[in-house]
Amino acid sequence: MELIADMLMIAGTVAVAIYCVVLARRLSRFTDLEKGVGGAIAVLSAQVDDMTKTLTRAQKTAGASAVKLEDLTQRAEDVSRRLELLIASMHDLPTVSETGSPAKPSAPQPEVREAEVGETLFLSQRSRVEAAE
């Protein structure tokens, strides 16, 4: 009886040893840096680093764009104020009477060339080359 118990004990021990070897192999494959989860973690870590760098660059670009947009908005507000003044000053121009002849101006008006009018109506801080682009 003792012999049968010893044989069963040896068989159980061999089975547990084989099971441990199989688990050790699976665990080594699981933590392998090239094929297993370790490799996946390494790849994900590299991707997180890349995404962090990209996000930092995007934040810097967005900050610069916000500053530029604020500057352009300020310039647009300045131009709109000038246009409002020009439109308001047009109310002071003499009106045409019913006979078709203009009314006499209250003060002598200086002659203004057409090119100067275009330049003064649309004053911009950009040069003509920048505006053409």
Please write the tens of the pLDDT for every residue from 68-89: 999 999 999 999 999 999 888 8
123: nearest Cα among 88, 91, 89, 75? 75
- What integer pLDDT is reported at residue 113 of this predicted model? 52
d(CA 57, CA 63) in angstroms, rounded, equals 10
Query: Measured in whole angstroms, how far is the alpha carbon of residue 34 from the centre of its chain?
Result: 35
How does the average pLDDT of the chain come out, rounded?
79
d(CA 8, CA 85) in angstroms, rounded, equals 106
The pTM score is 0.41
d(CA 32, CA 9) in angstroms, rounded, equals 35
